[in-house]
Structure formats: C-alpha cells, structure tokens
Chains A and B, each alone.
Chain A
Amino acid sequence: QQRWSLAIHGGAGVILRENMTPEEEASHKAALAAALDAGSEVLKTGGTALDAVEAVIVRLEDDPQFNAGRGAVFTWDETNELDAAIMDGRTREAGAITGVTAIKNPILLARAVMADGRHVFLSGAGAETFAKDRGIETVDPAYFRTERRLESLKRMKANALSALDVDHKFG
C-alpha cells in the first residue's frame, strides 16, 4: 500500500498552558484527535486527500472551541462572517468563499465552487445564492454565535483592545 499522511491545525497564537485549565487542554486535544482520526480513516481506506481534508474540517467547523463555523469570532457589527478554501493538488483546481453568514459548513461550499469549475472565489450574497442552488446546508446565523466569542468582542470594544488582546489565537 502507498503511503498516506495528514496534518491538521485549529489555529495558532498566544496559547499558553498557564492560561488554560487542564480540562480545556484535554478538551481541545480530544477534539483534534477526533478530527485527525476522521481524516485518517478516509485515507486508510483508500479515500482521496480531498475527502480527508473535508472530513477533518467539517468536524472542526462543527466544534465551538475553534474559530471556524460554529464558534467563529464576531465582526465589529456582532455578526459571524465565514471564509473557506480548498485545493486539489492533482489538478490545481481550487474553490474559495468569503463573507458568508448562513452556510453551516463553509468548506463544503468552497468544494462545491471548485467542483463547479467556472470560478475560484465567490463572496457574500452571491456565494450564498450559489450555495442555495447547489443544495448546501444553511442555518440561522445565530447557530454560529457563542457567548465566549461575543464576550471577546465586547471586551475588545470596551477597552479599545486589538483582536490579538482578546483572542488567544489568530485566524
């Protein structure tokens, strides 16, 4: 059997052990391990790299601990605007979307853009219309809201902080 390999991330930044409880550390590691296993299973069974990437990212988008999908950070106007991209190294086909607010799993929309093939990068309302045409699952924008992220935004506004002061991680 040919080799396979997989690497994943859930954001980087000023992430310090002293700022994290043991429970939070364990919870993040468990989520990463579950996503890693989901992708590994695809690859182990002969699935494609694209399917493995999708399996990992959907899982992380659904987890409110990470800044993507449910649990995404808030904009200045207290909305959640989501971006995603995917690329196939075999063909160098790519799909990307930005500024969507009601797409449950933005990576699925990015992949649909890639599969459609006419364009690479769609934005905002147009991307949402494209999603509707392709039957991509939508949700009420409130689905993405978490109190922890809203608190970060409020602290940022109240204290004139930068995003980096209120979030441990970038992205």
Chain B
Amino acid sequence: TVGAVALDTHGNLAAGTSTGGLTGKRWGRIGDAPIIGAGTYADNRSCAVSATGAGEYFIRVGVAREICSRLRLTDLPAQTAADEVMAEVKELGGDGGVILVTPAGDALFSFNTPGMYRGRATSEGMREVAIFAGE
C-alpha cells in the first residue's frame, strides 16, 4: 500500500491511498485502503489520514475518520489521537500504521509494526525518509 496526505498553501488538506491488497486474497476481498473513513479520510476541520495495515481491523475501527473526529471534537494533540486509535487497532489484533497532516501543518506518523516506509516534508525545511521504527 502507498499513500500521501498534504496541506497546501491555501490551507486545504487532501489524502490518497492506493494498494494491491493482500497476497493471496480471494472472494473479492477488499481492505481498508479504498474505503473512505477507514484507510483514507480528509477534512479541513481536523486532518488528512492515509493508512496501511491489516485492513479488516482498520475497517472495524474506522481508523482514518476516527482520528479526524477526535481532532475535531477534542483538544487532543494530533500525535496522541493517532496513537490512541492505533492502540485500538492493536487491541483488536491488527497491525499497521497511519500518516497524517493537520491544518496547523504537522506531518505525523503512528505505527505499531517494526517498520513503515515513510517520509515527510514541510515548508519549514523538514525533509526526511525512514523505514525502521526508531529511525
């Protein structure tokens, strides 16, 4: 799965996700990536999210929308909201990760796997890519 989330200079957010799904999938199985609210969501009032992981769990938790809703309705820091929702995924037995950007320009990750192919850049000069946890 690949994904991107962005905040532009006009203050607008967008999210996108694309995937081949799960190796050996059958019966027309669909994961979270194309499901708006599970693997992909964007709302200028809160955040933009793209997810990658064990799709069945991300669908059950409604990960992308859940993170955005928490940010819209509470004062939680974005990293906390993302970590809390990913903890719910883990609690149900799922693994994976999310990327998100906020209207304030934060570009964040949260994942509970040993690695996630990832990168982020901002107008403040941040530009980084990483693979393994702790990098």
Which chain A residues have a beta carbon within 8 Å of chain B's beta carbons? 1-17, 20, 25, 28-29, 32-33, 35-37, 39-40, 43-44, 46-50, 52-54, 56-57, 60-61, 66-69, 71-77, 80-90, 92, 94, 96-99, 105-107, 110-111, 120-121, 144, 149, 152-153, 156-157, 163-164, 166-171
Contacts and interface: CB of A to CB of B under 8 A. Distances in A.
B112 to A, nearest CB: 9
B120 A171 contact: no
B116 A7 contact: no
Assign chain B's interface to a size class.
Answer: 35 or more
Contact of B34 (A73, A96, A153): A96
Given A3-B7, A6-B5, A14-B115, A85 B17 contact: yes
B24 A156 contact: yes
Given A15-B131, A81-B25, 15 more contacts: A3-B124, A4-B8, A4-B122, A8-B2, A11-B117, A14-B114, A14-B115, A29-B129, A48-B14, A57-B2, A67-B2, A83-B18, A84-B16, A120-B36, A170-B95
By DSSP majority rule, is chain B's interface helix, strand, loop, or mixed?
strand
Contact of B6 (A13, A20, A39): A39
